[in-house]
Structure 1
Amino acid sequence: MGLFNWAYKLLRKADVGAMTASYVNLAVDMVMIGIAAYFIDVVARKILVFAMNIIAKRTKTQFDDFLVTNNTPQYIAHAIPLYFIYKTVPLALKGFTYWEYLFNKGITICIILISIWIVRSVFNAVKDYLKLLPDYNDKPIDSYVQVAMILLWIFCITGIVLTLFNTTMPILLSTFGAISAVIIVIFKDTLLGLVASIQVTINDIVRIGDWITLEKFGADGTVIEINLATVKVQNFDMTTTTIPTYSLISDSFKNWRGMLQSDGRRIKRHLLIKANSVRFIHESELGELKKIQLISEYLTQRFEEIEAYNQENNIDKSMSINGRNLTNLGIFRKYINTYIETHPGINKNMTIMCRHLQPTEKGIPIEVYVFTKDKRWINHEYIMADIFDHIIASVAYFDLEIFELPTGRGYIDA
């Protein structure tokens, strides 16, 4: 074409050698094509970005906003001058077989790469959009996108290798098979992360927003991000712990989602009663204990049952150990149980129990096992503290003592 030969004609008229004139003409043509491609790129970007911004403002969906944010219009705009180069450069390279051969390889690789960048920006826009939807905002969308991008990059690299070395797919696969052991070693963490991400998703082990505890890595907080290789946990002290995704299936951890979805949050806490403060209750003491309203009716009924049993079986009550008796610890446990049953912060439809645990060298553990209605951390702690404040203050009314290690003052008093 005359458009690509004018420099050659001018140089030949100036008695420049044919070979030199050809290469100078080629250089001039490449510069002209490069300048034209640059202006096409600038114009295309301005038009596409402007048009996309107008569309994003006028539509209700936020997906097109994320396309703009992830530079999708810019990447598409880059494809227009690339197409221009693809069509015009071969015309300038006529007669330069070797250079045309190299150009075909280079432009094919560029097309593959720009295609990958366009798809990647669209995937990122889809990821950002899905995170806004209630049905998907707790799903590991980042992992899905990363898996998809890995597959795309595998196809991309495969296409580049096939283009560069003029090989075929069977030969390439056999080569990859030969070096697969090396690939597995190099990409071990990525492969483990891929397997873990799939298992985490399929089995619904962890979601974004879950509260998890993984003591091995010092993680105790909310999952804020799940990637192919790592999981980010924002701890309650506002620090961030990053743990390998594979640890979620290889190590033991606690997910508190079940508690948050249930009707209550558990209180499981005990206090230690000194064993030598436990004793039988004499009949003369019942009058004072019946003043405690929560157990007044229970004491009357229970004492009558015990008295009837002892009389029926001719029990010698000259010693308290004979027959059936009330103990201060048993009455105290009944009091605790009645108190928590009437507490407004406790869920009455879930387990309510005050139980006697295995005695230890530090005393007898009396454990409260209940569930609070309010699952919020601060309110849960407040309800638990309120209950145990009352229980601890109540111990003295039953002539019991709480175990605690002696302090310096304790040794002085002794």
Structure 2
Amino acid sequence: MNLYLKNLTVYLIHLFQKAGMSPNWAETTGETLSLILLFLFSYIIFRLTWSGMKKILIPVFRRSRNQFDDLLVKHRLFRRISYLVPTLILYYFAQDSVYSLPVLISIIQRTLEVTFVVIIILVIDSLLSTLNDYYNRFEFSKDHPITGLIQIVKIIIYFFGLLFAIATLLHRDLSTLFVGLGTLSAILMLIFRDPILGFVGGLQLTFNKMIRIGDWISMPQYHADGTVMEITLTTIKIQNWDKTIVTVPTYSLVSNSFQNWRGMEEAGGRRIKRAVYIDMDSVHFVTQEELEKFKEIKILKPYLEKKEKEIQEYNQKFQVDPSVVVNGRRQTNLGIFRAYLKAYLQHREDIRKDMTFLVRQLPPSEKGIPIEIYVFTKTTAWAEYEDIQADIFDLILAVLPEFGLRVYQFPKSGDLAQLGTKQTNIG
């Protein structure tokens, strides 16, 4: 082809000379037209190559069961490879079109060398993106994401590609540029500060298994409370429960604290830790009539019989005078209520019995006596968990009057109105 192209150039020059052009103008015009025809030929070959890939190669890949080649198509690998064809044609044959202008040939070849490097970098970028997407289809990728590592490799490739392009355009040796980089190291550290910190943080997060894709994490300082969608070199993408997206710097998860709910999900139980505040004025010793009434509660009867026997033995042992209320031991409506709650929760099939199970009394305060439920549900699903918790406290609020207890709450507007009416009547 070199011979044909050179003969074409010579023929065009002679043709323009016969048309009456001077030798210099005929040579310049002939070589320019020859170069334009070469560019046109390269473009036609590119179109034919790409059309052949689209009609033959790509349909075969899409019909195959292998998903890797589908990802190659998605990331435009074959499109970028097709760019190599016209680049190589122009590089090897441009000198036969403008052989009388070595300076122009040198500029064209340097430009094509840079273009060639850019295309190779884009091809490698497509392969790395394909590898990352293919890797993410496996379940273990959630524990060991490689997105950050892939991005580091891409940065290195782009960096060396940029150096090679500069060295080619300036016609300098690549080693001399590396020597000059020593003076630019501080600037480079500032430019790549976030990627470097992100890479270090990403390695710590990955190897220590602190976070993975799909984890539910909470970082109040970044208004993040949701599921991890993506872990990259510099940021972590989190979708909050209100469907908003928050991006958090990767290194911040190492330098700051965050809460990962994965342990709760893997344990298969979600904690209920909520208290109801009892009005202290409603707490009292129970009478015999109240005890008989409470014994009619099926799940409470075994406890009451056991407790009553224990108290009678104690009082008989110490010869307690029952006519004085404060002598000996007696049951209170609050204690019986706590026993009822424990029995009720024990009978619920959606509460785990093999994890922490408490119905406890917290220190009294100006808001009353807190009775706290500290148990774990068998489900970790948010909606189901909230339903179970609501069912439990619905029952607590409804059943409290049956034990002679009242919930403490701040005075309502109606209470204040009644108090004002009473003071007016007294006045």
Q: Distance in 2 between matches of 1:205 and 1:86?
A: 51
Q: Distance in 1 between matches of 2:66 and 2:142?
A: 17
Q: Distance in 1 between matches of 2:294 and 2:43?
A: 95
Residue of structure 2 aligned with 1:378, choices 368, 371, 383:
383
1:196 and 1:249 in contact (8 A); partners too: yes
| SS across alignment from 1:98 | helix
1:392 aligns with 2:375: no
How is 1:116-265 mapped onto 2 (pairs within 5 angstroms)? 116-136=121-141, 140-265=145-270
| SS across alignment from 2:338 | helix
Look up the match of 2:424: none
TM-score, with normalisation over the residues of structure 2? 0.90
1:50 aligns with 2:58: no
Measured after TM superposition, the shift of residue 18 of structure 1 is: 4.0
Aligned residue type for 2:239:
Q
Q: Distance in 2 between matches of 1:68 and 1:367?
A: 59
Measured after TM superposition, the shift of residue 354 of structure 1 is: 0.6
Aligned pair count reads: 414
| SS across alignment from 2:206 | helix
1:288 aligns with 2:293: yes
Measured after TM superposition, the shift of residue 16 of structure 1 is: 4.1
Residue of structure 1 aligned with 2:32, choices 27, 37, 47:
27
1:211 and 1:256 in contact (8 A); partners too: yes
Q: Distance in 1 between matches of 2:143 and 2:243?
A: 20
Q: Distance in 2 between matches of 1:183 and 1:322?
A: 82
Q: Distance in 2 between matches of 1:123 and 1:49?
A: 22
| SS across alignment from 1:48 | helix
Residue of structure 1 aligned with 2:44, choices 39, 49, 54:
39
Q: Distance in 2 between matches of 1:39 and 1:320?
A: 107
Q: 1:25 to 1:140 in 2, by over 3 A?
A: same
Measured after TM superposition, the shift of residue 3 of structure 1 is: 3.1
Tell me the percent identity: 35
1:351 and 1:369 in contact (8 A); partners too: yes
Measured after TM superposition, the shift of residue 320 of structure 1 is: 2.7
Look up the match of 1:306: 311
Unmatched runs of 5 consecutive residues or more in structure 2: 1-5, 420-427
Q: Distance in 2 between matches of 1:52 and 1:134?
A: 30
Q: Distance in 2 between matches of 1:7 and 1:38?
A: 21
**Greater Cα shift, 51-60 or 152-161:** 51-60
1:140 and 1:225 in contact (8 A); partners too: no
1:335 aligns with 2:340: yes
Residue of structure 1 aligned with 2:372, choices 367, 376, 385:
367
1:265 and 1:375 in contact (8 A); partners too: yes
1:108 aligns with 2:113: yes
1:209 and 1:224 in contact (8 A); partners too: yes
Q: Distance in 1 between matches of 2:211 and 2:248?
A: 13
Residue of structure 2 aligned with 1:325, choices 318, 321, 330:
330
**Greater Cα shift, 64-73 or 191-200:** 191-200
Q: Distance in 2 between matches of 1:40 and 1:358?
A: 85
Aligned-pair RMSD on alpha carbons? Answer: 2.1
| SS across alignment from 1:238 | coil
Residue of structure 2 aligned with 1:66, choices 71, 74, 77:
71
1:80 aligns with 2:97: no
Unmatched runs of 5 consecutive residues or more in structure 1: none
